[in-house]
Amino acid sequence: MSQKPSLTPLFSQVDVTTSSAPHSTAPAGADQANLLREVLSAQDRTNELLEEMVGLLTAQHRQRNAELNRWRRANPALADNCRQAAEALSEVQVDFLERLTEDVVDNHQEMAYGDFMLSEFVDRYGPRLAHLNGVIQALAQLGGGSAPAQDASEEG
């Protein structure tokens, strides 16, 4: 009553006999040489693109510096105030970092094993530190210098 399903072969036959001539090593060497030429050409193009990028970035940097210098010349008192504010905020930042590091030293065990304490720490210090750094950077640029360095020689 039941019919056997017709069986279809899973594999077909493949002819593995050598009907063509064996490959010589000369074309393989030519293929390698062509491949190396293509790699060299691609590398040359990459170098050209990198040179263009450096030129664009340099031009943008020069333009930004020229605009900042023009602004500083137009607003010398404000530029000086920005520099002084950046220096004052650097001192505030040092105090803030001291409190932050003391908190880490005191609570590192709880932070290592407790997600709540780590999240609380990041919420408490992360945004303030990021915003403070951004404000100091902006004031330092407008004030005519890079951000004040925070090393031991300035603290004493």
* 86/150 Cα distance (integer angstroms): 12
* 68/66 Cα distance (integer angstroms): 5
- Of 29 and 95, more confident: 95
Domain boundaries, the chain: 33-74, 77-156
Res. 149: pLDDT tops 60: no
| Residue 77 pLDDT grade (very low, low, confident, very high; cuts 50, 70, 90) | very high
- Of 24 and 19, more confident: 19
pLDDT over 90 percentage in the chain: 60
- The mean predicted confidence, pLDDT, of the chain is 83
| Residue 74 pLDDT grade (very low, low, confident, very high; cuts 50, 70, 90) | very high
HSE at residue 36, side-chain half, CA atoms within 13 A, is: 6
* 7/114 Cα distance (integer angstroms): 62
pLDDT score recorded for residue 115 = 87
